[in-house]
Structure 1
Amino acid sequence: MTITKLTLRHIGLPMRFTFRTSQGALSHRESLIVGVTTSSGYTGYGEVVAFTEPFYTAETLTKSKDILLTAWLPFFVGKTLTGSWTMYDLIRDMESVGRDVSEAAGYDTLGHGDCAVLRAAERGVSQPLTGDTLRAQYPMAWAGLENALLHAYCGEQGVSTIGTLVPGKKHNTIESGVVLGDMPLPNLLKAVDAHVAKGCKRIKLKLKPGDAVARVAAVRKAHPDIILAGDANCSFLPEQADEIIALNPYNLCSLEEPFMAKDEAGNYKSTEVYSSLPKELRKTIKTPLCFDESVQSLAELKAMYATGWLDVLNIKVGRLGGLRETVRCLDYCRSHNIGFWIGSMVESGVSKYMHVQLATLVDTWMAGDLSDMSRYFEKDIITTPIEFSKGSLAVDFKPGLGTDIDEAVLDEYTLDKIVFE
């Protein structure tokens, strides 16, 4: 597959409501859509799911966009992929990033092709930076490009990306899993009632110190048989562990990211934090503990597992740095009896549909964070509706991404567009 054009769109998706967690609120979703066009005219799309503010991880949308424009996209113009993962061989052979990328294609808006290297030098990173180094530093930016490359490669061959590259038996339907943000308790109970009435069997609650137990207890009392999970988004101090222990009787399927593990720069120090916690505390917490934003690679998964605190992994392709790293994490979970399930990022259908397909894996821990897209956005940019009927969604594995792009909606949401060819 020869790449003739790469397109980067900065899009803005107006949301139907403000989604609140312990770390912040989101009422307007900006994202980056990467398009990779081949010599045959086929285009594959990928999404960069970083947020505009570093409340989730340290990689922001601005950082992702910068590295794509100054390094990755110019580099891949005219490159040929001879296999699904050839892009990794190509970047491994890069001597450095940022020195000559401005000459690779006609992009000079930032006015400095060396931007990536200069900023890395300011952070104390030794030059030259290799492609693999940047991939590790900007996993979400790389994931968006990698996914677009994979969908173009597989789509051109007429095969499904997820169906072909992700091992494991798969269902042809998935069940919905609704995530409910921080809201007044009466509103929360009404929301749970409404989703259960529509056939949803799994609810995940955003939790924070102070009222976590009251919220879980109220939902469990109203719906004793529902699959219930929690997500603390790193909001509890170790000295607040009693509140986490108090969740033991409520049979949560998992609790995500209970303890604070970020430094002031937004970098996660989870291995150090959890290694320092008392072993007796680990034995006292009966709820299976799940990790999400603090695990951004296979190496970090191994390190967290070694602490003895990780029971379950939340799988998000963008956070893990692409589908190849996701597959490696899945393999590690399976070989070490670690539970896993499929998350979501308040993202467009370009990224969401990959997660829909991943959620069909028969050995997932529970239903993923996947519900009707119309909850979040008035219109999606893919043509396959992600809308559940009685809590269930049929999943197809068409070539490439598995669905088509609604070009009119994509154009409507596009804030700016840059083309390399």
Structure 2
Amino acid sequence: MKINEIVMRQIQMPLKKAFETSFDSMKFKNCLIVEIHDEDGNIGYGECSTFERPYYNQEFMGGAWSLLENILIPETLAATIEHPDETTKLFSRYHLNNMAKSSINCALWDLYAKENKLALAKALGGTKDKVETGVSIGIQKDVQSLLDAVKGYIEDGYRRIKIKIKPGKDVEYMTAVRKKFGDIMLMADANSAYTLADVDTFKKLDELGLIMIEQPLAHDDIVDHAELQSQIKTKICLDESILTLEDARKAIKLKSCGIINIKVARVGGLTEAKKIQKLGYDNGIGIWCGGMLDSGIARAHNIAVATLQGYTLPNDIAASERYYAHDIINPMIKLDGTFIDVPRGNGIGFDPDTYYMDKFTVKKAVYSKKIK
């Protein structure tokens, strides 16, 4: 791979409506887009999906920009890279900061696939022509608003419905959805909003036949999750707790979960996502691909990785129009019923929409390879 230039942009994409979790309410999605150019004119695209502030984990927009600009991009330009997997070793001395690392790794995978005239899904070893998707619904102001939202998404074709919860907006809300819509694939996402002191809440949720409860306890915990899992039938899905392959191994050994949500950005890129999904598959752990209110760039990477055999549950890869009036790729990602068709073109299979890419760019920098 003959890399000669890297471009980084900060993008601010307006959401169609505010998205509320247990830690924030967002009207815009900020992210960093990394473009890696080679000498033959190919461009690989990656996305750093961190939020503007360190709500989700320790990473945030300004810190990620600084790390990429001062360390990761210069080292990528200085290195001789033949395959995207080599970023694991290249960046191994730098702890955490997986979302920043992921933007480079994913851009290199896109570039690698384009250089070899392969669809990204095929380059990764994927086998599916379609990937199933679910939808994630933010915390609503009242029960009726939630029921209206669920009704709309079921009518749009989504089978799996994920609902964000927090103390005070949990059992009543989830019970109302189950009563109204019956035997749908229903799950709750707590975003670490609870502790073991709330076990009675989870026992009540346990009666609703949920397919999983995602990250109920602390963002860095696997021990208390194991205790909670031993007390409820509903499978716990770990999200924030799984940053590395080693985290996944320990969680599986402790029986902390029955399902893992792999967010490509959270684990450091497609290379590490592949390893974790194989470990889960080999140990009977359900796997699905999560999202970070991604732009179409990261969403395209998610589609590709979800074609791997370990991904056995519907994914959080919604259609572009679910969150955005305008995406930064062309065409926008669309649903075919409850599935998304896997692109067959080279690389991620989507072209950047240069008009909206430029319109949403609030900061841009270009870094060139130094000639020795």
Give the alignment's TM-score, normalised by structure 1. 0.83
Give the match for residue 118 of structure 1.
none
Matches within 5 A, 1:143-222: 143-165=102-124, 167-170=125-128, 172-183=129-140, 184-222=142-180
Amino acid at match of 1:197: E
Give the match for residue 392 of structure 1.
339
Give 1:329's match in structure 2, choosing from 254, 276, 279.
276
Matches within 5 A, 1:59-74: 59-74=59-74
Q: Secondary structure at the match of 2:230?
A: helix
Distance 2:224 2:211 in 1: 23
Amino acid at match of 1:12: Q
Indicate whether 1:133 and 2:93 are aligned.
yes
Q: Secondary structure at the match of 2:192?
A: coil
Distance 1:217 1:235 in 2: 19
Distance 2:208 2:306 in 1: 25
Give the match for residue 35 of structure 2.
35
Q: Secondary structure at the match of 1:15?
A: strand
Q: Secondary structure at the match of 1:50?
A: coil
The structural deviation recorded for 1:272 is 4.5
Give the match for residue 357 of structure 2.
410
Aligned CA distance change for structure 1 residues 316 and 400 (closer, same or farther; 3 Å): same
Aligned length: 367
Q: 1:251-303: CA deviations, max 9, x gaps?
A: 111110112x25xxxxx2x035446x4xxx53331110001112111111112
CA contact (8 A) 2:222 2:251 kept: yes
The structural deviation recorded for 1:161 is 2.5
Q: Secondary structure at the match of 2:352?
A: coil
CA contact (8 A) 2:196 2:224 kept: no
Distance 2:277 2:130 in 1: 20
Aligned CA distance change for structure 1 residues 292 and 18 (closer, same or farther; 3 Å): same
Q: Secondary structure at the match of 1:205?
A: strand
Distance 1:190 1:271 in 2: 35
Distance 2:104 2:233 in 1: 40
Distance 1:3 1:361 in 2: 28
Distance 2:257 2:336 in 1: 34
Aligned CA distance change for structure 1 residues 337 and 168 (closer, same or farther; 3 Å): farther
Structure possessing the higher radius of gyration over alpha carbons? 1
Give the match for residue 314 of structure 1.
261
Unpaired segments of 5 or more residues in structure 1? 92-130, 263-267
Matches within 5 A, 1:22-421: 22-77=22-77, 79-88=79-88, 91=90, 131-134=91-94, 136-165=95-124, 167-170=125-128, 172-183=129-140, 184-259=142-217, 261-262=218-219, 268=220, 270-274=221-225, 277=227, 281-361=228-308, 363-421=310-368
Aligned CA distance change for structure 1 residues 168 and 47 (closer, same or farther; 3 Å): closer
CA contact (8 A) 1:2 1:78 kept: no
- List structure 1 runs of 4+ shifted beyond 4 angstroms: none
Q: Secondary structure at the match of 2:311?
A: coil
Distance 1:13 1:239 in 2: 38
Q: 1:372-420: CA deviations, max 9, x gaps?
A: 2112112111113212243333222321122111112111111111111
Q: Secondary structure at the match of 2:173?
A: helix
Give the match for residue 121 of structure 1.
none
Distance 1:146 1:235 in 2: 31
The structural deviation recorded for 1:246 is 0.9
What root-mean-square deviation, in Å, do the aligned CA atoms of Structure 1 and Structure 2 show?
1.7
Amino acid at match of 1:181: G
CA contact (8 A) 2:20 2:26 kept: yes
CA contact (8 A) 1:205 1:231 kept: yes
The structural deviation recorded for 1:85 is 2.5
Aligned CA distance change for structure 1 residues 359 and 168 (closer, same or farther; 3 Å): closer
Amino acid at match of 2:343: D
The structural deviation recorded for 1:79 is 4.0
The structural deviation recorded for 1:77 is 2.4
The structural deviation recorded for 1:187 is 0.6
The structural deviation recorded for 1:179 is 0.7
Aligned CA distance change for structure 1 residues 390 and 169 (closer, same or farther; 3 Å): closer
CA contact (8 A) 2:35 2:46 kept: yes
The structural deviation recorded for 1:233 is 0.7
Q: 1:287-342: CA deviations, max 9, x gaps?
A: 10001112111111112223222110001110010111101101110111111111
Q: Secondary structure at the match of 2:33?
A: strand
Percent identity, aligned pairs only? 30
Q: Secondary structure at the match of 2:6?
A: strand
Aligned CA distance change for structure 1 residues 62 and 367 (closer, same or farther; 3 Å): same
The structural deviation recorded for 1:88 is 4.2
Q: 1:190-224: CA deviations, max 9, x gaps?
A: 11111111221110010112331111111111111
Amino acid at match of 2:240: E
CA contact (8 A) 1:357 1:397 kept: no
Amino acid at match of 2:222: T
Q: Secondary structure at the match of 1:77?
A: helix
The structural deviation recorded for 1:178 is 1.0
Unpaired segments of 5 or more residues in structure 2? none
